[in-house]
Amino acid sequence: MFTRTTSDNAEMVTISFEGREFSVRKGLTIAAALLESGITHFRETPVSRSPRAPFCMMGACFDCLVVVDGMANQQSCMTRVRAGMNIERQSGVADVIDKNESQAEDA
């Protein structure tokens, strides 16, 4: 579906998605980097747990929400990758509420 257009001179960074490491081009959005890496299931809907993927790629639809370094509800199409970034699939509302509450308790 998507092809990697990496040149020999492109600076690469390593990110992690669901425990799997990927080397991606620096400067890409998370959505673009994951799509280039073959990942198409970014989150699950709160009610039916249906898989969702980026749709608009411009921040309007919220289908690309992921958990980035423990912070839920991050729009992957609007967030640039950085070295060492840990990205997780966002799974429904309950999981998001649980993660945000545990972060508040840790603070």
List the chain domain ranges: 12-106
Give tens-digit pLDDT for 85-94: 999 999 876 4
Q: What local confidence, expressed as pLDDT, does residue 6 receive? A: 55
Residue appearing with tokens 């299931």: 41
pTM summary value:
0.78
Strands (E), the chain: 12-17, 20-25, 43-44, 51-52, 65-68, 71-75, 86-91
Q: How far apart are CA 64 and CA 2, in angstroms?
A: 16
Q: How high is the pLDDT of residue 94?
A: 45
In the chain, what is the greatest distance between 2 CA atoms, to the nearest angstrom?
Answer: 45
Given the candidates 3.40.47.10, 3.40.50.11750, 3.10.20.440, 3.30.365.10, the CATH classification of the domain at 12-106 is 3.10.20.440
Task: Residue 45: count other Cβ atoms within 10 Å of its Cβ.
Answer: 14
Report the candidate in 2, 66, 83 with the shortest Cα–Cα distance to residue 36.
Answer: 2
Asked whether residue 105 carries a pLDDT value surpassing 60, the answer given is yes
What CA–CA distance (Å, rounded) separates 4 from 9? 14
